[in-house]
Amino acid sequence: MILQRIKNAAWAFRNANLPMQDWNQLLAMAEMGQESAAGVRVTEETATRHATVFACINILARDMSALPRHLYERQADGGRKIVEGHPVSAWLRQPNRLHTPMQWSMRGWYSILGSGNQYEQIIRNGRGEFQTVPIDPTRVERVRVNSDLSKSYELNNPDGTKTVLPEDKVFHNFGLSTDGGITGVSPIRMCMETVGRALALGEYSAAYFRSPVPKVIAKMTGTMKDGTDAQRFKDDWTEKFAGKKGLSTLALMPPGIEIDQIVKIPNNEAQFIETAKFVKEDLAQIYMVPMHRLQALDRATFSNIEHQGLEYVQYALLPWLTALEQAIEKQFLTPEERERYFVRHNVDGLLRGDFKTRMEGSALAVQWGLATINERRALENLPAIEGGDSLLVPLNMSRLEDLPSADDIGNQGDAAGADAQADDERQVVLNRAAGMGEAEIRAAQSRRDTVARLMPRFERALQREIEIQARAITREGSPLLRAEQRDALGFISWVEEYARGRMDAVRAAVAPALLAIAQAIGDQARQEVKIDEPDDRIPAFARTWSENFAESFTRATIAQLQAVAVEAQTMLEEDPAEAVATRIDEWQHGASGKPRAGKEAVREAYSIANGVAALIFNSAGYGLVWATFGKNCPYCNSMRGKRVSGSQPFAQQGSIQPDGATRPLRIRRNLKTPPLHGGCDCMVVPG
C-alpha cells in the first residue's frame, strides 16, 4: 500500500518541474501522510491502526452491511412491494462473483469512512445484467466534470498507463464533499489533528511501558566556548529526548554537565487515563458513534441506553444509508424507473426496543389497523398464522354517523303478542298502499311466521356451541392472559387455531335448523308462484349457507377476542383475561338485549328465508318487492314497495338516511334481499 502511494505520487507529478526538497516532501506525504501538530504523520492506514478509529469504522460498516436492502415498487394505494426480476434486484443479491452482499458492502463502507469515496467499476453483459468490481481509491488520480455535467474518472494502472472511465461505468458513492460535490473528503484527513493526538498518545503510552526512563534536570559544572555551543547542546538534547523518544533513549552526559534533579511525573498526575478517554470521545464524534457502542458505559443507564441506540440509527446510520440508496438509484435506474422504483434498507430490526416496548407497539399497530397480525409476527421472527393477514379495528370505534340509534331500530324479531299483531296489520295496510296485493302480503306474512316458529331451533343449537367454546376459552386460552404472562400474541394465536378447529362443529350444529327453514320457506314460495315440482336446489343452497355462516361466525369470534385482548393489553390498567371473560359472558347472556345466539338467529333465519324465496321467485320469472312487517322503522319504511329484477340489489353498498332517521345507516355490501339491519324481519314478495 505504501509503495502504491509512492507510485501514485510519482505518476501524478512526473512531468512537474519541482525542486528536490519539494519532491522529498511529496514522497513523504505519499508514504507517511501529513504530519500533525502532535508530531505524528496521519494517513488512512495509520489512523485505522488506532483501536477507536478502527472500532468506529468497523461498527458502522458491520451495522449498515447487515441490513436487508431491496428494490421496491410503489403501489397505487401508497404501499410498496419488493421487486424481483429487475437487474438491480439481482445485483443487490450478488454484486459480483468475488463478494457476498455483506462483504461488498463492508468493503465499500470501509473505503468511504476512511478515504471518503467508494469507487466501483461497472461491468455489463448483453442481457442488461451487471456486476461491480471495487477500485482502490488511491488509483483514482482525478475526477473531471465534463461540459454536459457528467463525470470522467482517470485511473492510474500498475504498469504506469492511465485509464479513463465514463460516468456510466463507475459507481461512485461518497459523503461530505468540499469540492462542489465531485468527490468526498476523508474524515480522517479532515480531522487530522484529532487523529494525530490519538496516535501520539498511543505511541507515548507504548514507549512509556516499554522503557519508563524518568526525565532529568542537568546543570553545567564547566564552561562552554560560546553561546553557540550551549544552544547546540540544547537542540541536540531536545531532538534526542523530547516527547516519547526520551522514554527509550539513554542519556549520556558530556564533560562539564552533571544531573542535578530527576523528575518523574506519575501518569495519574499527568491525567493519562482522562486524556485517553477524551481522545476516545473526540474520535467517536468524528463518526457520531455513541460511546456505549465503544464499550464506554460509564455514563450509560438502563433508562437512556435504548434511546441512545435509536439516536445512533437515526443520526449516524440513516444519513449514510440514504446516500447509498440515492447513489444506487441515480446510477442504475432511469429517470422513468425512479418514478416507479426505489431502494431502501430495512432498519426495523435496529429500531426495535425491549420486549415490553415492542409488544405494546405491536398491540397498538394491530389494534388500530396500522398492521396485520402476521406483519407484526414477522418482525418477531414468528411464523404467519391463518387469517392473520386481515386488518383489525376496535369494535367500539365505528363512526358515530354510521350507526343507527336505538330509537331508530327497534327489536322487530318478536312477532308474538297483541302489539305485534297490531303492528303487522298496520304494515299490511302500508304494503297494500305501496302497490302489493293482499294475497302476496298475507303469503309473505305466513312465511315470516314460519321463520319465527323455526328460529328457536337454530338459536338453541348455536347457544350450545357458544357455551362449548366459552368453556374452552376460559379453561385453556385465558390463562395466557393472566398477570404473570400477559401473552396477548400467544392468546391470539391460540384463539385462531381453536376457533378454526371448531368451524366444522359450528356448521354441523346449525345445518339442520337452516335446512328446515329453507325447505319450509321453499315449499311456501313455490305455492305462491304456482310451482308444483319440488326444487332440488334447496338442500345444496342450505348446505352452502351453513358453511358460509360457520366461516363468518368463526371470523367474528376471532376478531372480537383479539380486539378485546389487544385493547386491554395496551391500556395496561385493564386485565386482558377479565376483558375476555366479560365478552364471553355477553355472548352467553347478553349485556343488553339478546345473547349472541339470539341475535345471530334472527339475522340468519330471515336472511336464508328471503334468499330461498328470491331463488324461487326469480326462477319463475318474477322480480322482487320489499314488504315490511313488525314495528315501524324509518329505514325499512324507505324500502317498502321497492321493486328490483334479476340480480339487481335493493340497496348499494354505502349508507342511507331516510326521513325520520336521526343518523345514516351503513350498508356494508350490495343488499339483494332483507334483512336491512339487525332485528329486521322484512320479507320479499313476487312482483
Whether 17 is in a domain gets the answer yes
Q: Could you give phi then psi for residue 229, rounded to 5 degrees?
A: -60, -40
Are both 479 and 516 inside the same structural domain?
Answer: yes
User: At 504, is the secondary structure helix, strand, or coil?
Assistant: helix
pLDDT greater at residue 159 or residue 309: 159
pTM of the model: 0.49
Whether 113 is in a domain gets the answer no
pLDDT digits (tens, 9 = 90+) for 251-274: 555 666 665 555 554 555 445 566
Whether 299 is in a domain gets the answer no
Whether 523 is in a domain gets the answer yes
Are both 576 and 616 inside the same structural domain?
Answer: yes
Q: Could you give phi then psi for residue 281, rounded to 5 degrees?
A: -65, -40
CA distance 583 to 470: 10
Are both 384 and 464 inside the same structural domain?
Answer: no
Are both 412 and 549 inside the same structural domain?
Answer: yes
Domain C-terminal end among 360, 393, 426: 393
pLDDT digits (tens, 9 = 90+) for 555-609: 988 888 888 777 766 655 567 778 888 888 888 887 666 788 888 989 999 999 9
Number of domain units in the chain: 3
Residue 18, pLDDT score: 47
Residue 198, pLDDT score: 82
Q: Kind of pairing, strands 151-156 and 69-74?
A: unpaired
CA distance 283 to 193: 11
Residue 289 has pLDDT above 50, yes or no: yes
Whether 460 is in a domain gets the answer yes
Percent of the chain exceeding pLDDT 70 equals: 74
- % helix / strand / coil in the chain, to the nearest 5? 55, 10, 35
Residue 307 has pLDDT above 60, yes or no: yes
Whether 559 is in a domain gets the answer yes
CA distance 36 to 279: 15
Whether 471 is in a domain gets the answer yes
Residue 420 has pLDDT above 50, yes or no: yes
CA distance 154 to 11: 12
Are both 400 and 377 inside the same structural domain?
Answer: no
Are both 471 and 357 inside the same structural domain?
Answer: no
The CB density around residue 239, as the number of other CB atoms within 10 Å, is: 9
By C-alpha distance, which of 52, 50, 13 is closest to 29?
13
**Residues ≥6 apart with Cβ < 8 Å to 657:** 663, 664, 665
Are both 430 and 383 inside the same structural domain?
Answer: no
As given in the structure block, the three cell numbers for residue 326 are 440515492
Are both 585 and 571 inside the same structural domain?
Answer: yes
As given in the structure block, the three cell numbers for residue 346 are 430495512
583-589-592-597 Cα dihedral, nearest 10 degrees:
90
- The answer to whether 436 and 528 are in contact (CB under 8 A) is no
Residue type, 108: G
pLDDT digits (tens, 9 = 90+) for 219-260: 556 665 566 666 776 666 666 655 555 555 555 556 666 655
- The answer to whether 91 and 130 are in contact (CB under 8 A) is yes
CA distance 205 to 279: 13
As given in the structure block, the three cell numbers for residue 389 are 393477514
* Domain of 3, in residue numbers: 1-32
pLDDT digits (tens, 9 = 90+) for 458-497: 999 999 999 998 888 888 876 666 655 556 677 778 888 8
Give one word for 566, left, alpha or beta, with left for phi > 0 and alpha for psi -120 to 50. Answer: alpha
pLDDT digits (tens, 9 = 90+) for 352-399: 555 666 677 777 777 777 788 888 787 776 778 877 887 776 654 544
By C-alpha distance, which of 579, 574, 550, 547 is closest to 562?
579
Q: What is the DSSP letter of 371?
A: S
Whether cis (ω within 30° of 0) applies to the bond prior to 675 is yes
Whether 668 is in a domain gets the answer yes
Are both 399 and 367 inside the same structural domain?
Answer: no
CA distance 71 to 83: 6
Domain C-terminal end among 393, 417, 442: 393
Domain C-terminal end among 328, 363, 393: 393
Partner residues linked to 131 by β-bridges: 123
Are both 362 and 405 inside the same structural domain?
Answer: no
Residue type, 432: R
Are both 364 and 436 inside the same structural domain?
Answer: no
> Which single residue is written with the C-alpha cell 463492508?
106
pLDDT greater at residue 409 or residue 185: 185
Tell me whether residue 216 is exposed, middle or buried, using C-beta atoms within 10 angstroms of its C-beta: 0 to 12, 13 to 18, 19 or more: middle
Are both 501 and 514 inside the same structural domain?
Answer: yes
pLDDT greater at residue 29 or residue 328: 328
